């Protein structure tokens, strides 16, 4: 965590504590200041060294806040913050992770019931104590109770989009070490799960000590959790990073084992046993000639990692595979199974029958069908966004700014007149980009992101929708409606004659809000019948449709589209998160609308 992030976190905490005690306006000021500190290009330490005035140069940071920042940099704490923490000794982050519980609620419940933790909140709700507090009722109490499990899980798991860059950085750091023969990420991060518990890394080497030393000294690591002979764990960016080191000839077996999932590994081990083989993290062994008591020694306990004495007992029989991961699968009579499929949902049987899907790959994507510009809430011009798409080698690019409607606040969305105006602006910008790139043309299409209201109707008129090249329709409001109603709503939306893509279908925000909970089979079937594509929104806070929804789409014969919903050029690079999510849902290249040629895309849109 950078120093600016650390200081901004303190200011946000200050804001929460102020708000909890009923202070008005000030919390907003602290949050605005926090945001600008976080984004400020200069480290606050060096500003603080120049005094309060230098710190107050940061936008929205006034004298009072500047003084607190300097105090924090110089002493490591802020006296007034410490006092407020003592006054309200609650686990604010954990409690406010519950949907519907804000700092104010936390303050009231502490005052009335002394609630300080998630467990205490749950106990108070279960005991019916919350409904008795003034301003609360039985419905609020039930909502709190319903939302606690989601909050608890969100506190334990990190979004893929936050963890993956940490894993990539750790991997390239390790890869550059002389002693490292091979390095890979494994665990849920290699399977591209939407949230991850911890980051797992695997290295092949015959020199363990220098690698452990280098790993615990990794500049991005904030702390060492443990360091042994063959493994170590550090904390980086609030996530645990586990490293294991193995010999090169066991790298494939270890990679297979530590990639998981556990359920997939169980399936594979059973298949090995059926063939008189034994599979563990050291290799695949032929144990048909080995006495039973020697052969069934279980895999080593996680804690015994790297202990050679413990390990020999598990290397029994003749090794038939283990140096490479593909070799392990092959020796079990299986096609190599892509990590995203390793969830024990039919992949082993498919691999045995040579019927694994021909999964979509990041390089297959030919254009983005859902992007924003400064015409709505994007931060960049049409021309900047088209240029960024062209730079990524795309064949086409669709601009889909927000239309007005439910969920759009502060005049963000375009009305019918503005949509017509944008059509001309788009042509102009596309021509300008084409000139600038010397005819290396990208086809620019005009779309819109329309809003699906609570009943499944769109808020933009049909005439306007009909004139557009592409219509994405997304829910932006009413995201806690009952499952049945959500299903009807989404089915109605995909059946709308002008809707081409169902955008972020559930509206979930990972670890923040669960979103709609429709019957995904029903929505997928309706989408397949109507010829509407289901979006896999690649924004790492969304990943919506999720893997299960994509799988339902595949089974129903529906088409998916992997879109970034980019509001800035660099967000176009989030596409990989969407592609890997689509892969987890078994999507083949042919199933992905924007992996198709421009002509095939246009044919789909015309149909």
The residue ranges that bind Ca ion (CB under 5 A) are 187-188, 198, 200, 242
Shortest Cβ distance from residue 164 to Zn ion (Å)? 22
Number of residues written out for the chain: 607
Total residues in contact with Zn ion, by rule CB under 5 A? 1
Shortest Cβ distance from residue 189 to ligand DGT (Å)? 7
Shortest Cβ distance from residue 363 to Zn ion (Å)? 26
Shortest Cβ distance from residue 229 to ligand DGT (Å)? 19
Residue 163 or 494 having the CB closest to Ca ion: 163
Interface with ligand DGT, residue 250, by CB under 6 A: no
Shortest Cβ distance from residue 483 to Ca ion (Å)? 31
Residue 31 or 244 having the CB closest to Ca ion: 244
Half-sphere exposure of 589 (CA within 13 A, CB side): 10
Residue 188 or 532 having the CB closest to Ca ion: 188
Core vs surface per residue 309-323: b (16+ CB within 10 A) or e: eebeebebbebbbbb
Core vs surface per residue 502-514: b (16+ CB within 10 A) or e: bbbbbbbbbbebb
| Contact call for residues 135 and 88 (beta carbons, < 8 A) | no
Interface with ligand DGT, residue 260, by CB under 6 A: yes
Residue 188 or 559 having the CB closest to Ca ion: 188
Interface with ligand DGT, residue 347, by CB under 6 A: no
Q: Which residues contact 195 (CB under 8 A, 6 or more apart)?
A: 153, 154, 157, 158, 159, 160, 188, 510, 511
Name the nearest CA neighbour of 190 among 134, 226, 242, 155. Answer: 242
Residue 218 binding: pick among ligand DGT, Zn ion, Ca ion, none (C-beta 5-8 Å cut-off by kind): none
**Binding range to Zn ion, per CB under 5 A, among 246-254, 274-282, 378-386, 474-482:** 474-482
Instruction: Tell me what percent of the chain is helix, strand and coil, each rounded to the nearest 5.
Output: 50, 15, 35
Interface with Zn ion, residue 158, by CB under 5 A: no
Ranked by CB distance to ligand DGT, the top (closest) residue is: 260
Residue 261 binding: pick among ligand DGT, Zn ion, Ca ion, none (C-beta 5-8 Å cut-off by kind): ligand DGT
Residue 221 or 470 having the CB closest to Ca ion: 221
Binding-site member from 474, 539, 563, 594 for Zn ion (CB under 5 A): 474
**Binding range to Zn ion, per CB under 5 A, among 148-156, 189-197, 261-269, 473-481:** 473-481
Residue whose pair of structure tokens reads 């907003």 in the numeric block: 28
Angle formed at CA 192 by CA 186 and CA 196, multiple of 5 degrees: 75
Name the nearest CA neighbour of 495 among 452, 527, 464, 537. Answer: 527
* CA dihedral angle for residue 419, residue 423, residue 428, residue 431, rounded to 10 degrees: 140
Shortest Cβ distance from residue 242 to Ca ion (Å)? 4
Binding-site member from 238, 262, 288, 484 for ligand DGT (CB under 6 A): 262
Shortest Cβ distance from residue 473 to Zn ion (Å)? 10
Report the distance separating Cα 96 and Cα 116, nearest Å.
11
**Binding range to ligand DGT, per CB under 6 A, among 130-138, 258-266, 328-336, 368-376:** 258-266
Binding-site member from 108, 188, 373, 581 for ligand DGT (CB under 6 A): 188
Interface with ligand DGT, residue 187, by CB under 6 A: yes
Binding-site member from 261, 314, 345, 589 for ligand DGT (CB under 6 A): 261
Report the distance separating Cα 317 and Cα 324, nearest Å.
18
Residue 474 binding: pick among Zn ion, ligand DGT, Ca ion, none (C-beta 5-8 Å cut-off by kind): Zn ion
Residue whose pair of structure tokens reads 């939407």 in the numeric block: 194
Report the distance separating Cα 562 and Cα 152, nearest Å.
30
Interface with ligand DGT, residue 265, by CB under 6 A: yes
| Contact call for residues 446 and 435 (beta carbons, < 8 A) | no
Interface with ligand DGT, residue 305, by CB under 6 A: no
Instruction: Extract long-range pairs of 568-573: CB within 8 Å, 24+ residues apart.
Output: 568/378, 568/379, 568/380, 569/380, 569/384, 569/385, 569/387, 569/388, 570/388, 571/539, 572/368, 572/371, 572/388, 572/389, 572/392, 573/392
**Binding range to Zn ion, per CB under 5 A, among 153-161, 289-297, 334-342, 469-477:** 469-477
For residues 556 to 585, the per-residue mask of contacts with ligand DGT, x marking binding by CB under 6 A and - elsewhere, is ------------------------------
Tell me which DSSP letter residue 369 carries. S
Region for 405 from its dihedrals, namely left if φ exceeds 0, alpha if ψ lies in -120 to 50, beta otherwise: left
Per DSSP (E only), the strands in 115-253 are 158-159, 182-186, 195-196, 199-204, 223-227, 231-236, 239-246
Shortest Cβ distance from residue 563 to Ca ion (Å)? 28
Tell me which DSSP letter residue 284 carries. E
Is residue 154 exposed (0-12), middle (13-18) or buried (19+ Cβ within 10 Å)?
buried
Residue 265 binding: pick among ligand DGT, Ca ion, Zn ion, none (C-beta 5-8 Å cut-off by kind): ligand DGT
Residue 371 binding: pick among Zn ion, Ca ion, ligand DGT, none (C-beta 5-8 Å cut-off by kind): none
Residue 302 binding: pick among Zn ion, Ca ion, ligand DGT, none (C-beta 5-8 Å cut-off by kind): ligand DGT
Binding-site member from 200, 237, 449, 525 for ligand DGT (CB under 6 A): 200
Residue 260 binding: pick among Ca ion, ligand DGT, Zn ion, none (C-beta 5-8 Å cut-off by kind): ligand DGT
Report whether the peptide linkage leading into residue 60 is cis, meaning its omega lies within 30 degrees of zero. no
| Contact call for residues 16 and 81 (beta carbons, < 8 A) | no
Binding-site member from 14, 30, 218, 258 for ligand DGT (CB under 6 A): 258
Ranked by CB distance to Ca ion, the top (closest) residue is: 187
Report the distance separating Cα 57 and Cα 45, nearest Å.
14
Report the distance separating Cα 139 and Cα 127, nearest Å.
14
For residues 532 to 551, the per-residue mask of contacts with ligand DGT, x marking binding by CB under 6 A and - elsewhere, is --------------------
Binding-site member from 197, 336, 379, 406 for ligand DGT (CB under 6 A): 197
Query: Residue numbers of the site for Zn ion (CB under 5 A)?
Result: 474
Query: Residue numbers of the site for ligand DGT (CB under 6 A)?
Result: 187-188, 193, 196-198, 200, 257-258, 260-262, 265, 302
């Amino acid at each position: 965590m950078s120093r600016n992030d650390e200081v901004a976190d303190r200011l946000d905490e200050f804001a929460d504590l102020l708000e909890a005690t009923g202070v008005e306006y000030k919390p907003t000021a602290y949050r605005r200041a926090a945001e600008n500190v976080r984004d400020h290009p200069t480290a606050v330490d060096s500003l603080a060294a120049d005094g309060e005035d230098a710190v107050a140069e940061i936008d929205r940071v006034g004298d009072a806040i500047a003084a607190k920042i300097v105090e924090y940099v110089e002493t490591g704490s802020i006296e007034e913050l410490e006092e407020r923490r003592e006054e309200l000794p609650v686990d604010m982050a954990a409690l406010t992770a519950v949907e519907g519980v804000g700092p104010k609620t936390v303050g009231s419940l502490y005052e009335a019931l002394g609630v300080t933790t998630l467990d205490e909140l749950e106990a108070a709700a279960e005991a019916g104590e919350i409904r008795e507090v003034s301003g609360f009722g039985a419905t609020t109490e039930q909502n709190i109770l319903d939302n606690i499990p989601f909050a608890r899980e969100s506190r334990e798991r990190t979004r893929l989009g936050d963890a993956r860059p940490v894993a990539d950085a750790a991997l390239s750091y390790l890869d550059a070490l002389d002693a490292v023969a091979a390095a890979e990420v494994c665990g849920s991060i290699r399977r591209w799960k939407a949230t991850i518990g911890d980051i797992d890394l695997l290295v092949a080497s015959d020199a363990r000590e220098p690698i452990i030393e280098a790993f615990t000294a990794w500049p991005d690591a904030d702390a060492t959790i443990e360091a042994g002979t063959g493994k170590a764990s550090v904390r980086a960016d609030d996530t645990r990073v586990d490293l294991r080191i193995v010999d090169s000839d066991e790298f494939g077996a270890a990679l297979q084992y530590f990639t998981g999932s556990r359920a997939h590994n169980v399936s594979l081990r059973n298949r090995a046993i059926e063939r008189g083989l034994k599979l563990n993290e050291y290799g695949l062994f032929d144990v048909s000639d080995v006495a039973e008591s020697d052969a069934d020694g279980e895999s080593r306990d996680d804690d015994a990692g790297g202990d050679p004495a413990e390990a020999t007992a598990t290397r029994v029989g003749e090794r038939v595979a283990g140096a490479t991961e593909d070799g392990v699968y092959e020796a079990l009579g299986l096609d190599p199974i892509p990590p995203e499929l390793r969830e024990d949902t039919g992949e082993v049987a498919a691999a045995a029958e040579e019927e694994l899907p021909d999964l979509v790959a990041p390089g297959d994507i030919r254009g983005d069908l859902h992007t924003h510009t400064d015409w709505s809430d994007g931060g960049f011009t049409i021309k900047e966004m088209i240029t960024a798409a062209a730079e990524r080698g795309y064949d086409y690019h669709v601009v889909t700014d927000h239309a007005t409607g439910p969920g759009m606040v502060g005049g963000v969305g375009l009305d019918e007149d503005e949509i017509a105006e944008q059509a001309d602006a788009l042509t102009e910008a596309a021509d300008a980009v084409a000139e600038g790139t010397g005819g290396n043309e990208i086809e620019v299409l005009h779309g819109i992101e329309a809003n699906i209201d609570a009943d499944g109707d769109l808020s933009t008129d049909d005439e306007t929708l009909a004139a557009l090249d592409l219509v994405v329709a997304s829910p932006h409001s009413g995201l806690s409606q009952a499952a049945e109603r959500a299903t009807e709503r989404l089915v109605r939306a995909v059946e709308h004659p002008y809707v081409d893509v169902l955008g972020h279908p559930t509206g979930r925000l990972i670890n923040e809000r669960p979103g709609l909970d429709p019957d995904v089979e029903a929505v997928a079937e309706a989408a397949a019948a109507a010829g509407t594509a289901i979006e896999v929104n690649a924004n790492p806070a969304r990943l919506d449709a999720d893997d299960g929804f994509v799988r339902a789409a595949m089974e129903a014969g529906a088409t998916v589209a992997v879109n970034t919903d980019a509001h800035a050029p660099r967000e176009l690079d989030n596409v990989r998160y969407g592609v890997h999510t689509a892969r987890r849902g078994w999507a083949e290249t042919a199933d992905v609308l924007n992996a198709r040629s421009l002509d095939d895309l246009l044919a789909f849109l015309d149909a």
